[in-house]
Chains A and B, each alone.
Chain A
Amino acid sequence: MWTLTVKGLLAHKLRLAATGLAVVLGVAFMSGTMVVTDTIGRTFDDLFATVYDNTDAHVRSAESVEVGFGMTDRERIEAGVLDTVLAVEGVAHAEGLVEGYTQIVGADGEPVGDPGMGAPTFGINWPERGELNPFDLAEGRAPERAGEVAIDRGSARRGDLAVGDTTTAVTQAGVVPVTIVGIVTFGGADSPGGASFTAFTHDEAQRLLAEPGRYSYIDVIAEPGVSEEELRRRLVAALPGDLEVLTGSEIIAEEQDVMREGMAFFNTFLLTFALIALFVGAFIIHNTFSIIVAQRTREMALLRAVGASRRQVLLSVLGEALAMALGASAVGVAAGVAVAAGLRALLAGFGIDLPEGGIVLSAGTVAAAMTAGVAVTMVSAVLPARRASRVPPIAAMREVAVDTSSRSRLRIVVGLLVLAAGVLLLAAGLAAPDAATVGGGAAVTFIGVAALGPVIAGPVSRVIGAPLPRLRGITGALARENALRNPKRTAATASALMIGVGLVSFITIFGESAKASIDRILRDAFVGDLVIDSGSFGFGGLPTELAPRVEAVEGVAAAVSLRGGPVELAGETTFLAAADPVRLEQVMDLEVTAGDLSALADDGIAVSRQVADGEGWAVGDVVPARFARTGSQELRVAAIYERREAAGDRFISLAAHERHFEDRFDMVVMVAFEPGADRDAVRRAVEAVAADYPTATVQDLGQYVEAQAAQLDAILGLVTVLLALAVLIALLGITNTLALSVFERTRELGLLRAVGMTREQLRALVRWESLLIALLGTAMGLAVGLFFGWGLVRSLAGEGFTELVVPAGSLLVIVVVAAVAGVLAAVPPARRAARLDVLRAVTVE
Chain B
Amino acid sequence: MASTAPDPTTTTTVAAQAIDAVKVYGSGATEVRALDGVTVGFDTARFTAIMGPSGSGKSTLLHCVAGLDTLTSGRVLVGETDLGTLGDRDLTRLRRDRLGFVFQAFNLVPTLTALENITLPDALAGRKPDQEWLDQVIDTVGLRDRLGHRPSELSGGQQQRVAVARALANRPEIVFADEPTGNLDSRAGREILDFMGRAVRDLDQTIVMVTHDPVAAGYADRVIFLGDGRVVDEMHEPTAERVLDRLKQLGD
Task: Note whether A and B form a binding pair.
Answer: yes
- Overall SS of chain A's interface: helix
| Contact status of A751 and B107, CB under 8 A, knowing A756-B92, A759-B88, A843-B59 | yes
* Chain B residues, CB < 8 A from A478: 109, 111-112
Closest to A483 in B: B111
B95–A752 contact, CB under 8 A?
A: no
* Chain B residues, CB < 8 A from A477: 112, 116
Question: Smallest Cβ distance from A193 to chain B, in angstroms?
Answer: 60
A756 to B121 alpha-carbon distance, docked (Å): 6
Check: B63 CB closer than 8 A to any chain A CB: yes
Question: Smallest Cβ distance from A763 to chain B, in angstroms?
Answer: 13
A757 to B109 alpha-carbon distance, docked (Å): 12
| Binary contact track B108-139/A, C-beta < 8 Å → 1, others 0 | 11111000100011011110000000000000
Closest to A399 in B: B152
| Binary contact track B159-181/A, C-beta < 8 Å → 1, others 0 | 00000001000000000001100
Which stretch in B77-85, B98-106, B186-194 binds the other chain? B98-106
Closest to A472 in B: B126
A474 to B92 alpha-carbon distance, docked (Å): 16
Question: Smallest Cβ distance from A728 to chain B, in angstroms?
Answer: 30
Closest to B92 in A: A758
A474–B123 contact, CB under 8 A?
A: yes
A841 to B106 alpha-carbon distance, docked (Å): 9
Check: B68 CB closer than 8 A to any chain A CB: yes
B93–A758 contact, CB under 8 A?
A: yes
A761 to B125 alpha-carbon distance, docked (Å): 10
A838 to B99 alpha-carbon distance, docked (Å): 15
| Binary contact track B68-97/A, C-beta < 8 Å → 1, others 0 | 110000000000000000001100110111
A94 to B239 alpha-carbon distance, docked (Å): 120
A754 to B179 alpha-carbon distance, docked (Å): 16
Question: Smallest Cβ distance from A240 to chain B, in angstroms?
Answer: 88
| Contact status of A754 and B89, CB under 8 A, knowing A748-B109, A839-B68 | no
A757 to B111 alpha-carbon distance, docked (Å): 16
Q: Interface size (B, Cβ < 8 Å)?
A: 34
Check: A214 CB closer than 8 A to any chain B CB: no
Closest to A469 in B: B123
- Total CB contacts across the A-B interface at under 8 A: 80
Contact of B92 among A482, A484, A747, A753 (CB under 8 A): A753
Contact of B106 among A481, A484, A758, A842 (CB under 8 A): A842
B68–A838 contact, CB under 8 A?
A: yes
* Chain B residues, CB < 8 A from A839: 63, 68-69
* Chain B residues, CB < 8 A from A758: 89, 92-93, 124
Question: Smallest Cβ distance from A560 to chain B, in angstroms?
Answer: 72
Question: Smallest Cβ distance from B25 to chain A, in angstroms?
Answer: 11
| Binary contact track A478-502/B, C-beta < 8 Å → 1, others 0 | 1001101100000000000000000
B106–A748 contact, CB under 8 A?
A: yes
A844–B105 contact, CB under 8 A?
A: yes
* Chain A residues, CB < 8 A from B124: 474-475, 752, 755-758, 761
Question: Smallest Cβ distance from A137 to chain B, in angstroms?
Answer: 74
Check: A473 CB closer than 8 A to any chain B CB: yes
Question: Smallest Cβ distance from A838 to chain B, in angstroms?
Answer: 5
Question: Smallest Cβ distance from B193 to chain A, in angstroms?
Answer: 19
| Contact status of A842 and B68, CB under 8 A, knowing A481-B111, A751-B107 | yes
| Binary contact track A720-752/B, C-beta < 8 Å → 1, others 0 | 000000000000000000000000000110011
* Chain A residues, CB < 8 A from B93: 756, 758
Question: Of residues B93, B103, B121, B125, which shows the largest number of chain A Cβ atoms within 10 Å of its Cβ?
Answer: B103
B106–A751 contact, CB under 8 A?
A: yes
B89–A474 contact, CB under 8 A?
A: no
* Chain A residues, CB < 8 A from B101: 754-755, 842
A758 to B91 alpha-carbon distance, docked (Å): 9
B68–A481 contact, CB under 8 A?
A: no
Closest to B90 in A: A758
Closest to A475 in B: B124
Closest to A758 in B: B92
| 5 sampled A-B residue pairs with Cβ under 8 A | A482-B111, A485-B111, A755-B96, A757-B92, A758-B92
Could you tell me which A residues sit within 8 Å of B by CB distance?
402, 473-475, 477-478, 481-482, 484-485, 747-748, 751-759, 761, 838-839, 841-844
Those 7 A-B pairs whose CB atoms lie nearest each other, nearest first: A756-B96, A481-B111, A474-B123, A747-B106, A756-B121, A758-B92, A842-B103
Known: A477-B112, A842-B101. 20 other contacts (CB 8 A): A474-B120, A474-B124, A748-B110, A751-B106, A751-B109, A752-B109, A754-B95, A755-B95, A756-B92, A756-B120, A758-B92, A758-B93, A758-B124, A759-B88, A759-B89, A759-B92, A761-B124, A839-B69, A842-B106, A844-B105
